[in-house]
Amino acid sequence: MSYILKTIIVGYLETNCYILVDKDTNLACVIDPGGEAQKIIAEIDSLGAKPIYIINTHSHGDHIGANTIIAQKYNAKICIHKSEAPNLLDPQKNLSASIENPIVSMPADILLSDGDILNVGNLSLKIIATPGHTEGGISLVCENILFSGDTLFCGAVGRTDLQGGNEYVLMNSLKKYLDLPENTTILPGHGKACVLMHEKKHNPYLC
């Protein structure tokens, strides 16, 4: 493999934060740093990684909680779909207003759209717009990995009854996964990893 991948479970909803490092350059991205910034930083530093991007699959508070601390420490750019960017600054819209310490992230540096490519050293991450859980949810494809955010879980899908959610839109987003190689590893925003082949056979939303 040309990369190092670490999963860290963080925050009040046990969000999967992923650190993806290009082995050749040590450049890295941090996907969904939902909280516990020092825990994430310790892992980044243990890898000798150099984060250049923080990528949020969507703007819910449990996926953006450590954005600011990590961005400031490493001078990393915050990336999110263009329709989710305003929510970073508004605890009501990112659904963190009711928790003890409402979350306000630094603003986005890069506004993403469907089909965009982010290069991390020699790694390329393709952006797939997968709204439905939120208005501007995205997934990321890198080599044989799909980072699905809260769109797809092992055996389930993300809820659609929150602000910006839409069940019909989510079902259409799931269709975008069906053309990926069946051995694609799915790394969701919460819970365990799975393989697309298994989900196509057993996940009722993909069958």
Q: How confident is the model at residue 86 (pLDDT cuts 50, 70, 90)?
A: very high
Give a yes or no: residue 28 inside a domain. Answer: yes
pLDDT > 90? residue 1: no
- Give residue 100's pLDDT: 86
Give a yes or no: residue 207 inside a domain. Answer: no
Amino acid (one-letter) located at 110: I
Which DSSP symbol is given to 164? T
Q: How confident is the model at residue 117 (pLDDT cuts 50, 70, 90)?
A: very high
| Digit-coded pLDDT (tens) for 19-65 | 999 999 999 999 999 999 999 999 999 999 999 999 999 999 999 99
d(CA 155, CA 80): 26
Give a yes or no: residue 88 inside a domain. Answer: yes
Range of the domain at 170: 3-202
Domain count, the chain: 1
Contacts of residue 155, defined as CB under 8 A and 6 or more positions apart, other chains included, come to 194, 199, 202, 203
Neighbours of 81 (CB within 10 A): 25
Nearest alpha carbon to residue 63 among 144, 147, 5 = 147
Give a yes or no: residue 133 inside a domain. Answer: yes
Mean pLDDT within 64-83: 98
Give a yes or no: residue 91 inside a domain. Answer: yes
Q: Classify 196 as helix, strand or coil.
A: helix
Give a yes or no: residue 182 inside a domain. Answer: yes
- Give the rounded percent of residues in the chain with a pLDDT score beyond 90: 96
Mean pLDDT within 128-140: 98
Q: Look up the CATH number of the domain holding residue 89.
A: 3.60.15.10
pLDDT > 90? residue 207: no
Give a yes or no: residue 84 inside a domain. Answer: yes
| Digit-coded pLDDT (tens) for 150-193 | 999 999 999 999 989 999 999 999 999 999 999 999 999 999 99
What are the backbone angles phi and psi of residue 10, rounded to the nearest 5°? -135, 155
- Percentage helix, strand, coil, to 5, in the chain? 20, 30, 45
Sheet of 123-129, strand order: 117-120, 123-129, 138-142, 145-149, 185-188, 194-195
* pTM for this model (two decimals): 0.97
d(CA 177, CA 199): 10
Give a yes or no: residue 50 inside a domain. Answer: yes
Mean pLDDT within 4-13: 96
